[in-house]
Amino acid sequence: MINRWIAFTACMLAGGALGWLTTAKGGPAWSLGVGLGLGALIWLMIDSLYLARLLRWLRAEQGREAPAMVSSQLPRLPGVWEEVVDRTRRLLKNRDQQLQESQARLDEFLAAMQASPSGVVLLDTQGRIEWCNQMATQHFGFDVQRDVMQHIANLVREPAFKAYLASGNYSHDVVIPGSLSTPARPVKLSVHVHSYGKDRKLLLSRDITAVELAEAMRRDFVANVSHEIRTPLTVLSGFIETLRTLPLEEPERARYLALMAQQSQRMQTLVNDLLTLSRLEGSPFPGANDWITTSALLVQCEQEARALSAVIAPRGHRLEFDAGPASEIAGVQTELYSAMSNLVTNAVRYTPETGLVSVSWKLLKDGRGQFEVRDTGPGIEPEHLPRLTERFYRIDRSRSRETGGTGLGLAIVKHVAQRHGAELHIDSQPGHGSRFSLIFPAARIRPAHAA
Ligand code: ADP
């Protein structure tokens, strides 16, 4: 500041001296006053010049849109102006740094919102879309460029959603179809609005199609299990009532007891299959170090098939077993046997007596192993094929029950196949028999002598 006073005094002194010299050389008496005024004017002009340069620089700084470091073209000004420039520069630098930090935080926050598995939509006080993430655009079919600042009720036209938004009661969510929903592939969204700030709203959407599907499957499963158990139970309790209340002859009594044993056997089979399925779902995936001999599995399957055929077909079946090359599969013995025996016993159960059931094991050229069961049974209509591995899906309900089926056999086969990385192929044509094959990956197969 002292410099400023010195500069001003110097200008005044120079002007005064010039005026005094003019007066001394015989000039007019007011020359001193003019000289002083001229000195003040020159000082003011120089000062205004510095001020103008400072203002020009400040305007240029203000005009910058994006926060960046302060421009390096600082005006070089003397004295107090240098300090003004320096302090302003520091203030601007701090402002830029703060802006950059807030921008970085905002970017990180928006990136986190983008990464959210839920759809996120920010609504202003009027219910217009201020921002939404990628997932929300998928859920609702928004176009970020086109739909920002549009009222959400104009874009999501589902009446349930409009009523929910208008109600102002956001203590629960609302379930609406997603933008990609079709009758063949329904998509369900759970939408929840949360109020925040001054009358602003945060809308969260979640795709609950899979959850709803799982819930529906669980309900169906419980209903199916209850039905499957209730039928033999009803029969059993009927027989028990009869035995308790009626004086029966011994042969009749023996017949009733045999029928009761049959029903309890049916329940036992069902419970065993249910336990197998739940074990398959709950246990860790089979390791690759336990090697099971295929020929032993085929021998077990053959014994079971012959025993079953003798019981259900008085004239028997033609059963052919080809154990193929001595090989081993890496997996769980009980699971592999369960899958193979289900395929073999199905072939025996659904093929009329004297029909042919051929079972084989072979190694394919690419190293994979194939377990195949062919039969000359009734075959399967093409529309049933994709659903055969669903739990409790049966084409011929009475044939399945008569021969001790539970409707869970192929579901077990599918699970075992998945757990061992194997593929289940079903080829069948009505009237031309069926072919079920399990193809195991080469990594799980080795020749038996490699042990
Ligand atoms: P189930 O205990 O009823 O046999 P599965 O899950 O093993 O249940 O089989 C599902 C349905 O697939 C059966 O009910 C039957 O209708 C059909 N199926 C399975 N194997 C054969 C086969 N070899 N020939 C004809 N139909 C079959």
User: Which range, of 59-68, 197-206, 359-368, 429-438, averages the lowest pLDDT?
Assistant: 59-68
Average pLDDT for 278-307 = 93
Q: pLDDT tier at 65 (50, 70, 90 boundaries)?
A: low
Q: With a 6 A CB cut-off, is 347 part of the ligand 1 pocket? A: yes
Q: What percent of the chain has pLDDT above 90?
A: 69
Mean pLDDT score of the chain? 91
CATH of domain 284-450: 3.30.565.10
pLDDT score recorded for residue 261: 94
Radius of gyration of the chain (CA): 45
Atom of ligand 1 nearest to the CA of 393: 10
Q: Which two tokens stand for residue 163?
A: 């009523």
pLDDT score recorded for residue 66: 55
Q: Which residues pair with 437 in a beta bridge?
A: 372, 425
**212-283, what's its fold?**
Helix Hairpins (1.10.287)
Average pLDDT for 5-26 = 86
pLDDT tens by residue, 20-55: 888 888 878 788 888 889 888 988 998 898 888 888
User: Which alpha helices (DSSP H) does 283-326 contain, by range?
Assistant: 294-312
Query: Is the pLDDT score of 164 beyond 80?
Result: yes
pLDDT score recorded for residue 436: 98
pLDDT score recorded for residue 50: 86
pLDDT score recorded for residue 59: 86
pLDDT tens by residue, 105-123: 999 999 999 999 999 999 9
Q: With a 6 A CB cut-off, is 142 part of the ligand 1 pocket? A: no
Domain ranges across the chain: 2-104, 116-207, 212-283, 284-450
Average pLDDT for 309-321 = 94
pLDDT tens by residue, 355-394: 999 999 999 999 999 999 999 999 999 999 999 999 999 9
Higher pLDDT, 76 or 300: 300
Query: Is the pLDDT score of 326 beyond 80?
Result: yes
Atom of ligand 1 nearest to the CA of 407: 8
Q: pLDDT tier at 84 (50, 70, 90 boundaries)?
A: confident
Q: pLDDT tier at 279 (50, 70, 90 boundaries)?
A: very high
Atom 23, ligand 1: residue with shortest CA distance: 347
Q: With a 6 A CB cut-off, is 410 part of the ligand 1 pocket? A: yes
Atom of ligand 1 nearest to the CA of 351: 24
- Tell how far the Cα of 394 is from the centroid of ligand 1, in angstroms: 6
Q: pLDDT tier at 439 (50, 70, 90 boundaries)?
A: very high
Q: Which residues pair with 188 in a beta bridge?
A: 177
Query: Is the pLDDT score of 181 beyond 60?
Result: yes
CB 266 within 8 A of CB 272: no
Atom of ligand 1 nearest to the CA of 408: 6
Q: With a 6 A CB cut-off, is 390 part of the ligand 1 pocket? A: no
What is the value of pTM for the model shown? 0.68
Residue 256: closest CA among 236, 234, 233: 236
Q: With a 6 A CB cut-off, is 31 part of the ligand 1 pocket? A: no
Query: Is the pLDDT score of 18 beyond 90?
Result: no
- Tell how far the Cα of 340 is from the centroid of ligand 1, in angstroms: 14
| Residue 30 DSSP one-character state | T
User: Which range, of 5-9, 42-46, 291-295, averages the lowest pLDDT?
Assistant: 5-9
pLDDT score recorded for residue 355: 96
Q: pLDDT tier at 76 (50, 70, 90 boundaries)?
A: confident
Query: Is the pLDDT score of 67 beyond 80?
Result: no
Could you give the count of Cα atoms lying within 13 Å of 443 in the half-sphere of its Cβ? Answer: 6
Q: With a 6 A CB cut-off, is 345 part of the ligand 1 pocket? A: no
CATH of domain 116-207: 3.30.450.20
User: Which residues in 394-418 are b (16+ Cβ under 10 Å) and which e?
Assistant: beeeeebbebbbbbbbbbbbbbbbe
Edge-to-edge strands, sheet with 327-330: 291-293, 327-330, 445-447
Atom 11, ligand 1: residue with shortest CA distance: 394
pLDDT score recorded for residue 60: 83
Angstrom distance (rounded) from CA 24 to CA 53 = 39
Angstrom distance (rounded) from CA 248 to CA 225 = 33
pLDDT tens by residue, 219-264: 999 999 999 899 889 999 999 999 999 988 999 999 999 999 989 9
Residue 436: closest CA among 390, 375, 355, 384: 375
How big is the CA angle at 404 (ends 388 and 278), to the nearest 5 degrees?
Answer: 60
- What string of DSSP letters covers 178-210? -TT--SSS--EEEEEEEEETTTEEEEEEEE-HH
Write the CA distances from 167 to 172, 282, 389, integer angstroms.
11, 44, 46
pLDDT tens by residue, 267-277: 999 999 999 99
Atom of ligand 1 nearest to the CA of 436: 23
Average pLDDT for 81-91 = 85
Q: What percent of the chain has pLDDT above 70?
A: 97
Angstrom distance (rounded) from CA 328 to CA 307 = 26
Atom 21, ligand 1: residue with shortest CA distance: 346
Q: Which residues pair with 207 in a beta bridge?
A: 189
CB 294 within 8 A of CB 369: yes
pLDDT score recorded for residue 81: 81
Atom 2, ligand 1: residue with shortest CA distance: 405
- Tell how far the Cα of 285 is from the centroid of ligand 1, in angstroms: 26
